[in-house]
Amino acid sequence: MKKTTAIFFLLLFAAITCAQTTFRTLVPAKPVPAGESFRVQYVLQGGAAKDFTPPDFYPFRLVEGPAIYPSKGNVPGSPSRNYIFTLVAPQPGHYIIPGASVSVNGSVLRSAAAAILVISSDREAAPVNPEFVQSSEYYLRPGENVQEKIRQNLYLKLSVDKQTCYVGEPVLATYKLYSRLESRSDIIKNPGFYGFTVFDIIGLADNQLGTEKVNGKDFDVHTIRKVQLYPLQPGRFTIDPIEIRNKVEFSRTVMNRKTGQKIAEGLFHKTEDDTPASGTQTVETDMRTEPLTIDVRALPEKNKPADFNGAVGTFLLSTRLEKNRLAKNEEGFLLITISGKGNFIQLGAPQVEWPPGMEGFAAVLKDSLDKLKMPLQGERQFRYGFVCTAPGTYQLPAIRFSFFDTDSNRYRSATAASLTVTVGAEEKKERPAEEQQLSITALGEKKSRIAIGVVFLLVLLILAYWILKKKPAAPVPEIPAPERPSVGELFRGAGILLPGEDTAFYQELHRAAWSYFESAFALSGSAKNKDHLFTLLRGKGVEEPSITGLADLFSTCEAGMYTRASLPAGKEQLLEQAKTLLEKMNESLF
């Protein structure tokens, strides 16, 4: 009885859950003129979307999409999402728009197909809703000033959450494009964030689209870029403008059409037909955001701890050993974890005072951060390897970590207890050979099973070969491997500037290093940031110490470019370090 009741409630819960989640296909209710664009929407309400799969829209031509943004759900607090595609119908007729599929909580939902009627363009002059004409800005009325219309209905906006902060305290900067027009926008200049460490939250690839009401009018709002900026040093710093080039299309005749936008990098360099459609006018215009100044205050000198190393936020500290007992000559590992919220991407490895007889190595970093939180929240782990020269008991002293708490505007310190590791006098024992080998009988049985499996696999391969032989595959063109760059030639300019002014040298060294990775990964625009680069390097198998060295190289160059601080390494030494680092990475990247 209990089992039956439990099953009943499980089925009831599943039915309620499914009833609360809907996935619909929305198409225009009115006939669509052939050759004119229209929107198809797939609306998910009441569930967290994953793995959205659009249908094949043939014979319709896909203009753009999907544009993804949160939709207004019926249940407050329930997740909802809207996937929008812009299509063009080739010719009049009755058509079916196929449904799409999306994964929600492990189940696949499919939206229903929807019917649409496409009429010829000469029937387009059907009655037009006067209210829609008044609200649509696609129609350019006789005598209307086109530049003034663009100025009022298409603009860029840079906003920050603060213009005064401490060194290491993040500033949230957001670039948005507001539009009520039919426009295509090309980013021709990305902003420079000189004097800041940058952490990207949203970029163009995220297709962040929403709606905002400005002066009583609804605007389509595209979030171009959203970043956290962590200042490197005190002073007044200017956030450079972003510049875009727009091609805005207007109609000279009244038509029932909602405007749409497309924004990308390098959009106008692609091969496309720019010939205006009949009855339309295209206007090209450039725009940019205004430069914005951030005042960065120095952290107070009063009560600054001697071990303070630039951490700003609220943090906790923990330490542990992977193993407390080691064999002779066995490598041990010390884990130091800093958790909380703050400028994680600027945190250096804590200083460890290794006791006599113990040799420590450079730490390997591992981050687990929530990029949507401001400031960053999560943890950064430092894994130190070490070896001991002789058997015995070693005491690792307590680790201390100091930070500036912006909530209370005071310095605080976190301390982890000391740790003890014992090293034995014997070498680490390997498993005996007899334990690692199978018996002769077991080995024979295993070989027999392997042989049967191999024969079976060969039969399958032969059958597959004869089946596929009837349809020979098209030859795959050989893609030449990228040419390995000359590191010496890359840094030749920095070498020439060694005797000259310091700032010019650090700028050239910084530029040369970035040009190397731009070539290796085809980086450009918002993808050109250090965190994205480090992720790509890890994917290529570059060792963590090399990535840490590269981060130090960038930080030193930026400090030399924007401050007059005394740097630990001389220019010649830094140049040699850069050459050695990139020569080593060449082996993994090319």
DSSP string covering 74-98: SSTT--EEEEEEEEE--SSEEEEEP
Contact 178, 261 (CB under 8 A): no
Does residue 458 fall inside a structural domain?
no
> Residues 125, 126, 127, 128: what is their CA dihedral angle, to the nearest 10 degrees?
-60
Phi/psi zone of residue 65: left (φ > 0), alpha (ψ -120 to 50 degrees), beta? left
**Residue 122 vs residue 390, higher pLDDT:** 390
Supply the CATH number for residue 109's domain: 2.60.40.10
**149-201 confidence digits (pLDDT tens):** 999 999 999 999 999 999 999 999 999 999 999 899 999 888 888 889 899 99
Give the phi and the psi of residue 222 in degrees, each rounded to 5.
-100, 120
Residues 141, 441: Cα–Cα separation, whole Å: 92
Give yes or no: residues 222 and 81 share one domain. no
Tokens found for residue 22: 């809907």
Q: Which pLDDT band, with edges at 50, 70 and 90, does 251 fall under? A: confident
Give yes or no: residues 150 and 65 share one domain. no
- Number of Cβ within 10 Å of residue 403's Cβ equals 25
Handedness of CA 581, 584, 585, 590 (dihedral sign): positive
Q: Which pLDDT band, with edges at 50, 70 and 90, does 16 fall under? A: very low
DSSP string covering 470-494: TSPPPPPPPPPPPPPP-HHHHTHHH
**By mean pLDDT, which of 30-34, 168-172, 429-433 is the weakest?**
429-433
**Residue 440 vs residue 535, higher pLDDT:** 535
pLDDT for 142 equals 83
The answer, yes or no, to whether residue 400 has pLDDT greater than 80, is yes
Residues 323, 393: Cα–Cα separation, whole Å: 13
The answer, yes or no, to whether residue 363 has pLDDT greater than 70, is yes
Q: Tell me which residue of 264, 285, 178, 255 sits closest to 221, measured CA to CA.
A: 178
The answer, yes or no, to whether residue 47 has pLDDT greater than 80, is no
The answer, yes or no, to whether residue 132 has pLDDT greater than 50, is no
Amino acid (one-letter) located at 547: I
Does residue 529 fall inside a structural domain?
yes
**100-113 confidence digits (pLDDT tens):** 998 888 888 889 98
Element (H, E) at 131: helix 130-135
**65-80 confidence digits (pLDDT tens):** 888 776 555 444 555 7
Average pLDDT over residues 114-129: 67
Give yes or no: residues 263 and 199 share one domain. yes
In this prediction the pTM is: 0.56
Amino acid (one-letter) located at 488: G
Give yes or no: residues 257 and 334 share one domain. no
Handedness of CA 156, 161, 165, 166 (dihedral sign): negative
DSSP string covering 323-348: -SEEEET--EEEEEEEEEEE-GGGPP
Does residue 6 fall inside a structural domain?
no
CA angle 564, 565, 568 (to 5 degrees): 135
Residues 93, 481: Cα–Cα separation, whole Å: 49
Residues 450, 177: Cα–Cα separation, whole Å: 63
Helix (H, G, I), strand (E, B) or coil at 282: strand
Q: Does the bond joining 231 to the residue before it have cis omega, within 30 degrees of 0?
A: no
**By mean pLDDT, which of 275-289, 335-349, 555-569 is the weakest?**
555-569
Residues 174, 159: Cα–Cα separation, whole Å: 5
Give yes or no: residues 345 and 268 share one domain. no
Give yes or no: residues 285 and 328 share one domain. no
- Which of 52-61, 244-253, 298-307: highest mean pLDDT? 298-307
Give yes or no: residues 291 and 150 share one domain. yes
pLDDT for 462 equals 77
**486-541 confidence digits (pLDDT tens):** 777 788 888 878 887 788 788 888 888 888 888 788 776 656 777 778 888 888 88
Give the phi and the psi of residue 510 in degrees, each rounded to 5.
-65, -45
**190-210 confidence digits (pLDDT tens):** 888 888 989 999 988 888 888
Q: Which pLDDT band, with edges at 50, 70 and 90, does 124 fall under? A: low
Range of the domain at 355: 313-427
Helix (H, G, I), strand (E, B) or coil at 374: coil
pLDDT for 525 equals 60
pLDDT for 274 equals 63
Q: Which pLDDT band, with edges at 50, 70 and 90, does 434 fall under? A: very low
Instruction: Single out the residue in 297, 332, 350 at which a domain terminates.
Output: 297
Does residue 453 fall inside a structural domain?
no
Do β-strands 325-328 and 419-427 pair in parallel, antiparallel, or remain unpaired? parallel
Supply the CATH number for residue 332's domain: 2.60.40.740
Contact 127, 171 (CB under 8 A): no
Give yes or no: residues 269 and 377 share one domain. no
Do β-strands 280-288 and 243-251 pair in parallel, antiparallel, or remain unpaired? antiparallel
Q: Which pLDDT band, with edges at 50, 70 and 90, does 470 fall under? A: low
Q: Which pLDDT band, with edges at 50, 70 and 90, does 123 fall under? A: low
Give yes or no: residues 291 and 365 share one domain. no
Instruction: Single out the residue in 408, 427, 446 at which a domain terminates.
Output: 427
DSSP string covering 543-576: -HHHHHHHHHHHHHHHHHHH--PPPSS-HHHHHH
Do β-strands 410-416 and 313-321 pair in parallel, antiparallel, or remain unpaired? unpaired
pLDDT for 527 equals 66
Does residue 395 fall inside a structural domain?
yes
Helix (H, G, I), strand (E, B) or coil at 518: helix
Instruction: Single out the residue in 70, 92, 125 at which a domain terminates.
Output: 125
Average pLDDT over residues 234-256: 86
Q: Which pLDDT band, with edges at 50, 70 and 90, does 19 fall under? A: very low
Does residue 415 fall inside a structural domain?
yes
pLDDT for 577 equals 86
Give yes or no: residues 121 and 167 share one domain. no
Amino acid (one-letter) located at 12: L
Average pLDDT over residues 251-280: 70
Does residue 293 fall inside a structural domain?
yes
- Number of Cβ within 10 Å of residue 114's Cβ equals 17
- Starting from the edge strand earliest in sequence, which strands make up the sheet with 280-288, in order? 261-265, 182-189, 243-251, 280-288
Give yes or no: residues 287 and 159 share one domain. yes
DSSP H helical segments within 329-476, as ranges? 433-436, 440-469
Does residue 457 fall inside a structural domain?
no
Handedness of CA 542, 543, 549, 555 (dihedral sign): positive
> Residues 177, 180, 186, 192: what is their CA dihedral angle, to the nearest 10 degrees?
-10
> Rounded to whole angstroms, what are the CA distances from 115 to 32, 104, 167, 195?
11, 25, 58, 55
The answer, yes or no, to whether residue 246 has pLDDT greater than 90, is yes
Give yes or no: residues 348 and 234 share one domain. no
Supply the CATH number for residue 505's domain: 1.20.120
- Name residue 282's beta-bridge partners: 249
**By mean pLDDT, which of 194-203, 215-224, 238-247, 440-449 is the weakest?**
440-449
Handedness of CA 84, 90, 91, 95 (dihedral sign): negative
The answer, yes or no, to whether residue 245 has pLDDT greater than 70, is yes
Look at the chain and report how many structural domains it folds into.
4
